[in-house]
Amino acid sequence: MVVGVPKEIKNNENRVALTPGGAGMLLSAGHQVLVESGAGVGSGFGDEDYAREGAVIVADAAEVWALSDMIMKVKEPLPAEYGYFREGQMLFTYLHLAAAGDLAEHLLSKKVTGIAYETIQLPNGSLPLLTPMSEVAGRMSVQIGAHFLEKFYGGRGILLGGVPGVPPADVIILGGGIVGTNAAKMALGLGANVVIIERSADRMRALDDIFGGRLRTLMSNPHNIASAVQKADLLIGAVLIPGARAPRLVTEAMVQSMKPGAVIVDVAVDQGGSIETIDRVTTHSNPTYEKHGVLHYAVANMPGAVPRTSTLGLTNVTIPYAMELANKGFTEAVAANYALQLGVNTYKGSVTHPAVAEALGMPYVKLSDLS
């Protein structure tokens, strides 16, 4: 199989979908790897590192797409890349189609086989290819929030951990999954008061055990959310429903009740966002906007700001699945691996993931019905 790795073109996206070591694994198994020149530079991997493993360095993205059976990316394709799509080609990347109807339409019209990192799901419900980036984004969300709480950047002028005699900031986290747990670790480490709002009683018990009572948990309901949001200095959206659009838990009225200069960091923005006033996606070069006196951070590729860590964390978990797809081919690989089968979002012009289909208002077709 020919595996292609184009350079990411999203604003300030410096991750790469394959490390030189990963390329070497595919090459050792008898596959060919094409890497667009400069694709790994942002993560600290030069063309010579890939060439040393035996990969072919290609001058431009169009050639990578044209010659490859499977394209490996980090972020979803942008409109400038839609013209590269072709029937039957596998696209293995984060897709987040629930909030990307235009991309979905193009994948379907070109009959691209779209395999989404974020919906590959193990029998225990975990999302192995989303987890490392959720860990990064969760930890980053607190760093970012602490930064923008500084007065110079438009925040309240609050030090997250306070100092003796001065109370620390109140950090409210919506969701107690991987993102929320990692955000809590960072916020507690900096000395903040932390509340996690979660809908699962079992998960709240687990969080209480993990953190030894150092944070508070609240059951997720409109009353508790409204009360907590009003007190927040930093509000972190960390809600995920695999494949589906993020539920809007924080209303505009709740945001209006927040303290002037409070900060919102919505990690769920790539799935549509869980805060009603997150009405646009921002970029690393222009990350925030102000609404109702509250600073909103809505960057959809947060881990792209720490590409070395993120690329290594991501490729640790994507390589085994890429090897399966390359070694067995699509049909045999998904038949043998149900977790991988759940990653298939589009196939032969149909939406093959139920949550994605529901979010897009499109018919859902079982993958088995298209084989």
Catalytic residues: 96, 270
User: Rounded CA gap, 131 and 325, in Å?
Assistant: 20
- Residue 87 DSSP symbol: T
- Residue 166 DSSP symbol: B
Question: SS3 for 51?
Answer: helix
Side-chain half-sphere exposure of 247, counting CA atoms within 13 A: 12
DSSP 200-238: -HHHHHHHHHHHTTSSEEEE-SHHHHHHHHHH-SEEEE-
- Cβ count within 10 A of residue 205: 11
Side-chain half-sphere exposure of 92, counting CA atoms within 13 A: 30
User: Rounded CA gap, 178 and 239, in Å?
Assistant: 10
User: Rounded CA gap, 200 and 325, in Å?
Assistant: 35
Side-chain half-sphere exposure of 168, counting CA atoms within 13 A: 15
- Cβ count within 10 A of residue 272: 19
- Cβ count within 10 A of residue 166: 9
Query: For the chain, how are helix, strand and coil distributed in percent, rounded to 5?
Result: 40, 20, 40
- Residue 291 DSSP symbol: E
Pull the structure tokens for residue 74.
């980090």
Pull the structure tokens for residue 351.
């939406």
Q: Which amino acid is at 101?
A: G
Phi and psi, residue 66, nearest 5° = -70, -30
Pull the structure tokens for residue 132.
């490392």
